Amino acid sequence: MIYTVTLNPSVDYIVEVEDLVLGGLNRMKRDMKLPGGKGINVSRVLNQLEVANTATGFLGGFTGGYIEEWLRKEAISSDFVHIADDTRINIKLKAGEETEINGAGPEIAESETELLLHRLDALLPGDIVILSGSTPPSLGGDFYSRLIALCKQKGAEFVIDTTGQALKEALAQGPLLVKPNHHELAELFGVTISTREEIITYGRKLLEGGAKHVLVSMAGEGALFISEQGVYHAGAPAGQVKNSVGAGDSMIAGFVGTLSLTGDVLEAFRAGVASGSATAFSDDLADRQKIEELRPHIVISQL
């Protein structure tokens, strides 16, 4: 079983205006409300790929209810801890460029934290736990370490999709996959990266640090897959980019879901790039039809 953990989910309120006038009255051209949070995104795309999974984490208030009802309508299995505080709202303001205003996240009590740890106590050897996104400030900086320790104790694999110190600390525990984009990779090592060769150099450092597989997304330049068996590049397919939100999460879903079904890392890479691209070409996350349309167009070459 694959489990996705979203510690700080959101309702993403996407607002589009023609011309933003600061300090004046602006009228919406279009708006959407979508369930947000990186693990939730992964679960939604796994569901499109017909890969069994369970979404968990923390949800609270009317916003948490909105997310839970959306997942129910999409027939996604979920087992969230219900908290007293409200799940946050993130605003994505599109006016030419996109401006994001993200909420900090709810206060989570220690008793609520223990409930989530109890949920994951049912993990079995061979399960995969995908840990994605930010943590609410109330959880402290070491909560991912606690979850990883539980995964290791139960013999489950884990995927970590976060940045900074939390990612550095997770590497030594042998994550199944890490997936920085090229900007996050540079930030992680405190360097400037301007060439593909430099991306490969620092991607390999993630392998040396303990990761089993490394995916580095490079926007229009496609993606790199780095593992002990080699370095591979997949070009980005042609299409009109409509949406950057969730493309990386979709890539993780395509990779992990296909790897769990087939054991073939290159087919998993192909599915990851197809899924990420399908989301980039959509208003919301990728659907199965769009992923399958793109999959044959993903050309992989060994470097």
Backbone angles phi, psi at 299, to 5 degrees: -100, 125
Query: Domain-by-domain residue ranges, the chain?
Result: 1-161, 176-303
End-to-end CA distance of the chain: 33
Helix (H, G, I), strand (E, B) or coil at 128: strand
DSSP β-bridge partners for residue 94: 16, 98
Q: How far is it, in rounded angstroms, from Cα 176 to Cα 188?
A: 19
Torsion angle, alpha carbons of 147, 6, 87, 90, to 10: 130
Show which residues are catalytic: 249
Residue type, 130: I
**Alpha helices for the chain (secondary structure H):** 38-48, 61-73, 110-120, 143-154, 164-171, 182-189, 196-209, 247-262, 265-280, 288-294
Whether residue 112 contacts residue 83, with contact meaning beta carbons closer than 8 Å, is answered with yes
The DSSP-derived string for 83-121 is ESSPPEEEEEEEESEEEEE--------HHHHHHHHHHHT
**Residue 10: predicted pLDDT:** 96
Q: How far is it, in rounded angstroms, from Cα 179 to Cα 253?
A: 11
Superfamily of domain 1-161: Ribokinase (3.40.1190.20)
Task: Return the axis-axis angle of helices 164-171 and 143-154, rounded to nearest 10°.
Answer: 20
Helix (H, G, I), strand (E, B) or coil at 238: coil
Q: Walk along the chain (303 residues) and give the pLDDT tens digit of each residue.
A: 999 999 999 999 999 998 888 899 999 998 989 999 999 999 999 999 999 999 999 999 999 999 999 999 999 999 999 999 999 999 989 888 888 899 989 999 999 999 999 999 999 999 999 999 888 989 987 899 999 999 999 999 999 998 888 888 899 999 999 999 888 999 988 999 888 999 999 999 999 999 999 999 987 788 999 999 899 999 888 888 877 778 899 999 999 999 999 999 999 999 999 999 999 888 889 899 999 999 999 999 998
**Residue 233: predicted pLDDT:** 96
Q: Is the dihedral of CA 255, 225, 193, 141 positive or negative?
A: positive
**Residue 303: predicted pLDDT:** 87
Fold of 176-303: UDP-N-acetylmuramoyl-L-alanine:D-glutamate ligase (3.40.1190)
**Residue 165: predicted pLDDT:** 82
